[in-house]
Each structure stands twice: as C-alpha cells, then as structure tokens.
C-alpha cells in the first residue's frame, strides 16, 4: 500500500480537500461515509477501501516525525496550511460544536491557551505540535515529495488548486470533470450534506461531520464559515493586535501578514 498523506493542522481545510479529491476521483459523494471509506482519517480507525492501484490518500493531523504511523508506506504528501487566526476561530467553533456545556468562559480559555501555546494545547498533547512546528515538519520533509497548498488559495481558485493536486497524484481528469468536482465539494454542498445527515442518519458515530445534537439545533455546524483572515476584535477588543504580536515571527515565516483588508 502506498500512502499519500493529506496533512494539516486541525481546522485548516483537510475535510474540504478530502471532498474535492473524492469528487474528482470517484464522483460526487452521496454521503460522508463514502468519503471516509475511500479517503480515510488516521485518527478515526474504521474499515476503508484500498484502491486497485494500491495508492490511497489518508488524512493526518500528526506532526511529521519518526513516530508518525506508517511512514515506510509513504509515497507523497499534500500539506494544507491556513492562517492561524482563522484556525483559532474555527477551533472555538469546534469546541462549541462538540461540547454541550460550552460557554463564554470556555471561549476565553481557548483564546488564551491558543495564544500562549502558539496553538491548541490539546492538539499539542495529541501529537499535532504547535501551528508552526506542524507546518515546518511537513514543509521540510525529506524522503518523499510534498505539495504545499494554502487554504486561502483554495478559496480564491479551487479549480486551479484541485488541478494541481490531481497532477501531483498523477490522476488525469478533464477540465469539465474538475469543474464538476469543485461544485460537488463546495461549502454549500457540504453544509447541506451535513444538515441532512445529522437529521436523518442513525449511525451518528460514523458521520464525518462532528457535532452534538444540541449544537446542531442551535445552528452550530462543522461546516462553519470557511472564511479567511478574519478580524478577532469581534471576540475581544484588542485581540487582533495581541494575536499579531504573539504570532509575528510565525506569520512572517509562512507568508501571512496582519493586514486584513479584502
């Protein structure tokens, strides 16, 4: 088995990339379980289908080091990076989504710990590293090729980015097929699928889209906003300046600026 890792720090667009690739390779997904079977998540052990070619794409949030599972089976990797300010906002939504007891106090704790630890401390203890150390580990990988993908570029031109990923994977598709895959993996398509599955599915634990029933009833979804370079001052006055100061070196290292103009 040859593995192509879809690597990212959590809340950076990995699920979107999985849907894009699934739609391009296998056709529009009927449900999220189909995506999980064809492009599995290493953090959610479940039966998956190994293609006849022997090459499979697998999602990972692990930092790349000698302890990463199945390194000897690795052939390539696609690494997705996202502005850490948007990662933090998405992390707050995820905590609210997966915890019925969420509160403003919890939101404040997520913000403070993310700033102090340069990432989510729970993700760090899970082996994902900090936002920057995770990115460095994959961007500086040796021994196999890595295709860098920016979340912001995915939003700006999903067709071009999907085409780039397919070329990297040596998968031939027409421009029409790529266009169809982009439509079948759009934010609106995925949000509609999440809503439908959470209303109708009896196998809640097998859903790709996390979230408690209480959060769903409140209109809080896994497919949150999908925005880029958002202002943080809406959460707390002065948070934008504080974030920029804390992440100054990391933002510069990976080509992000504090400018939040459109």
Q: Are the CB atoms for 182 and 159 separated by under 8 Å?
A: yes
Mean pLDDT of the chain: 84
CA–CA separation, 222 vs 140, rounded Å? 30
CA–CA separation, 55 vs 77, rounded Å? 12
Residue 97: the pLDDT is 62
213 pLDDT higher than 60: no
CA–CA separation, 123 vs 10, rounded Å? 8
* pLDDT tens column, 94-114: 676 656 444 555 677 888 899
* pLDDT tens column, 129-163: 999 999 999 999 999 999 999 999 999 999 999 99
Name residues whose C-beta falls within 8 Å of residue 180's C-beta, 6 or more positions apart in sequence.
23, 28
CA–CA separation, 217 vs 251, rounded Å? 36
Residue 101: the pLDDT is 45
Question: Can you read off the two tokens belonging to residue 174?
Answer: 């027409």
CA–CA separation, 205 vs 73, rounded Å? 28
Closest CA to 8 of 83, 111, 70, 113: 83
DSSP string, 41-89: BTTS----PPPTTSEEEEEE-S--STTSTTGGGEEEEEEEE--HHHHHH
Question: Can you read off the two tokens belonging to residue 37?
Answer: 């079977």
Domain annotation for the chain: domains and CATH numbers = 2-253 (3.40.50.300)
Q: Are the CB atoms for 56 and 2 separated by under 8 Å?
A: yes
Query: What is the Cβ-side half-sphere exposure of residue 113, based on CA atoms within 13 angstroms?
Result: 14
Q: Are the CB atoms for 89 and 151 separated by under 8 Å?
A: no
Q: What is the pTM of this model?
A: 0.85
82 pLDDT higher than 70: yes
Residue 230: the pLDDT is 73
State mean pLDDT over 203-215. 53
For residue 109, list its beta bridge partners. Answer: none
The fraction of the chain above a pLDDT of 90, given in percent, is: 56
CA–CA separation, 119 vs 135, rounded Å? 12
Closest CA to 77 of 61, 91, 88, 66: 61
Closest CA to 160 of 177, 178, 147: 178
CA–CA separation, 106 vs 145, rounded Å? 40
């Amino acid at each position: 088995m040859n593995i192509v890792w879809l690597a990212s720090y959590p809340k950076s667009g990995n699920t979107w990339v999985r849907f894009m690739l699934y739609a391009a390779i296998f056709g529009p997904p009927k449900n999220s379980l189909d995506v999980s079977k064809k492009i599995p998540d290493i953090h959610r052990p479940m039966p998956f289908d190994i293609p006849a070619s022997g090459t499979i794409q697998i999602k990972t949030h692990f930092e790349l080091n000698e302890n990463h599972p199945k390194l000897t089976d690795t052939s390539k990797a696609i690494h997705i990076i996202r502005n850490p300010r948007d990662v933090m906002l998405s992390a707050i939504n995820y905590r609210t989504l997966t915890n019925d007891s969420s509160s403003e106090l919890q939101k404040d704790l997520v913000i403070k710990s993310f700033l102090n630890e340069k990432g989510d401390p729970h993700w760090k203890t899970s082996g994902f590293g900090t936002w920057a150390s995770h990115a460095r580990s994959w961007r500086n990988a040796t021994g196999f090729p890595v295709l860098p993908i920016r979340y912001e570029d995915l939003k700006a031109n999903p067709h071009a980015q999907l085409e780039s990923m397919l070329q990297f994977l040596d998968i031939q598709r027409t421009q029409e097929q790529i266009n169809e895959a982009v439509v079948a993996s759009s934010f609106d398509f995925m949000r509609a699928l999440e809503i439908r599955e959470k209303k109708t599915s009896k196998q809640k634990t097998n859903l790709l889209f996390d979230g408690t029933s209480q959060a769903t009833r409140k209109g809080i979804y896994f497919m949150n906003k999908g925005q880029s370079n958002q202002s943080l001052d809406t959460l707390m006055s002065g948070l934008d300046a504080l974030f920029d100061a804390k992440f100054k070196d990391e933002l510069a290292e990976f080509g992000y600026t504090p400018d939040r103009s459109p």
